[in-house]
Amino acid sequence: MKSNQPIDPRIRLAISQWPNDAPRGAVTTFCEEHQISRKTFYKLRAIVRDEGQAAVLEPRSRRPKTSPTKISDELRAQALAVRAALEASGLDHGPISVHDKMHGLGFGAPAIASLARIFREENVARAAPNKRPRSAYRRFVYPAPNACWQLDATEYVLTGGRKCVIFQLQDDHSRLAVATHAARSENSEDALAVMRKGIDAHGVPQRLLSDNGAALNPSRRGWVGQLVAYATSLGVEAITGKPGRPTTQGKNERFHQTLFKWLDKQPFANSLEQLQEQVDRFDAIYNTERPHQGLPGRMTPQQAWDTTVVAEAPRPDTDALARTGLPVIDEIIEANPAAEIVTAYARQMDVQMKAEGAIETLTAPVVEAGAEEKIRGSVKDPGERGQRKLKTYSNGTLKLGETMFFVTKRMGSRVLNVDWDPENILISTMEGELIADFPRPAAGTKYVGIDRATVSFQNADKR
């Protein structure tokens, strides 16, 4: 009989009635016949001797006498109290956040899975059975701080139902809240103000990713706005997401949710000044106190910023605007001050661009149309680090040093952004959508296919 199998009650009964004057060898014969060990036999006989025959008829619990890892009622109450405090303050209060907060307070925090079980048992957790696991997400992250900033505006309501807008500027690599600005509406002046505020605090980024709003980047509509004109003059590459695809700015969209969750627990702001004070306080908590679950080791955004060398600032380019061939919105407004005329102009430009078949290919800034420097498909001597616009060959390849990279035929004859460092080579579209993330190949490698990429864009044609 195996050690983990229960002993038959009939065997237990026979052992409980075992005669004291049994002949020599009877115990061994009995144990062999019923496939139990002599140790088990004498253990049951000891129970009969100490506690009586009835005590041996029922199997005893195998539960350990002590449970060193059992969570005490006191620790359980502490976990629930920390969760309630985080929720009341408007911060994340899931098992991971509670675990990190308890560690920060010096408590002996239970495991994350144990905290999740406690919250379920206490009916304080919000069930989300259809939520995708974190491992299912593939995120594109720029390799260094200031390599790309994301800018977006979201609507908020002051007391009395007055609507306003909050501009949030975020670093793509570190998730740092670069600058936040409360404004009366989504307009180019306030968009420019938050950009200048971010540059004053953290330097000039290499790229600025935003949506296609008229106040942010209207290049797809056929003109250059104030923000794009300012960014381009500093050498910043202004890029946009595809129309109707807010997931391109997913980090900023998620940033809005975190801000709103925190603001919901604060008193309603009576003015833009009060709202600005609140969002500034939120930025300080978000950057330096709140562990970010999207960063390695759940470090804070400020720690992520400090850990990596900041990307080199671009060179100012005063002629870049002229090469786009697009009118600047300030000139349009000056010539046509009525908002209706400006709106009509935008609609006319959209119709014209669609008729010419350019609406799907126009990017911001449009440097291909009249660029003086020819965009090639290869970099002869890339060095350890760098960034370049390359135009793929018709077969969907581009060359970096002596290595040819295949990014699928669908990407043939397209201008792409290529960033490289000693470990990775990132290839993305002009709109900021990731195409492939290749590990840096060994010296002497002649060809790398799309299947070698650790991350590649969905539905890739790998022929």
pLDDT at 240 over 80: yes
> What kind of fold does domain 149-282+301-307 have according to CATH?
Nucleotidyltransferase; domain 5 (3.30.420)
Q: What percent of the chain has pLDDT over 70?
A: 79
- Which of 190, 196, 246 is closest to 214 using CA atoms? 190
**Helix pair angle (73-88, 95-104), 10° resolution:** 110
Please, is 66 exposed, middle or buried when counting C-beta atoms within 10 Å of its C-beta (0-12, 13-18, 19+)? exposed
Please, are residues 294 and 309 in contact by the beta-carbon 8 Å criterion? no
pLDDT at 419 over 80: yes
pLDDT at 283 over 70: yes
Q: Sheet of 378-379: strands edge to edge? A: 378-379, 397-400, 403-406, 447-448
Lowest mean pLDDT among 82-86, 312-316, 452-456: 452-456
Q: What is the pLDDT of residues 7-51, one digit of tens each?
A: 888 888 888 888 888 888 899 999 998 888 999 899 988 988 888
Q: Which two tokens stand for residue 29?
A: 């014969």
Q: What is the pLDDT of residues 139-181, one digit of tens each?
A: 678 888 999 999 988 999 999 889 999 999 999 999 999 999 9
Residues 6 or more apart in contact with residue 461 via CB below 8 angstroms: 408, 409, 410
Residue tagged 């590459």 (tokens): 237
pLDDT at 1 over 80: no
- Mean pLDDT of all residues belonging to the chain: 79
**DSSP label of 413:** T
pLDDT at 340 over 70: no
Q: What is the pLDDT of residues 43-93, one digit of tens each?
A: 988 988 888 888 888 887 777 777 767 777 787 888 888 888 877 777 777
**Mean predicted confidence (pLDDT) in 339-368:** 38
Q: What is the pLDDT of residue 244?
A: 57
**Mean predicted confidence (pLDDT) in 279-291:** 90
Q: What is the pLDDT of residue 455?
A: 67
Q: What is the pLDDT of residue 110?
A: 81
Instruction: List Cα–Cα distances, 45 to 13, 18, 37, in angstroms.
Output: 11, 8, 13
The pTM (predicted TM-score) of the whole model is 0.53
Q: Which two tokens stand for residue 188?
A: 């180019």
**Mean predicted confidence (pLDDT) in 399-425:** 88
Q: Which two tokens stand for residue 350?
A: 């959209």
Please, is 261 exposed, middle or buried when counting C-beta atoms within 10 Å of its C-beta (0-12, 13-18, 19+)? middle
Q: What is the β-pairing status of strands 378-379 and 397-400?
A: parallel
* Domain residue limits, the chain: 9-56, 73-127, 149-282+301-307, 378-456
Lowest mean pLDDT among 203-217, 394-408, 427-441: 427-441
Tell me how far apart the alpha carbons of residues 196 and 347 are, in angstroms, rounded to a whole number.
Answer: 30
- Which of 446, 447, 457, 383 is closest to 420 using CA atoms? 383
Tell me how far apart the alpha carbons of residues 289 and 284 are, in angstroms, rounded to a whole number.
Answer: 8
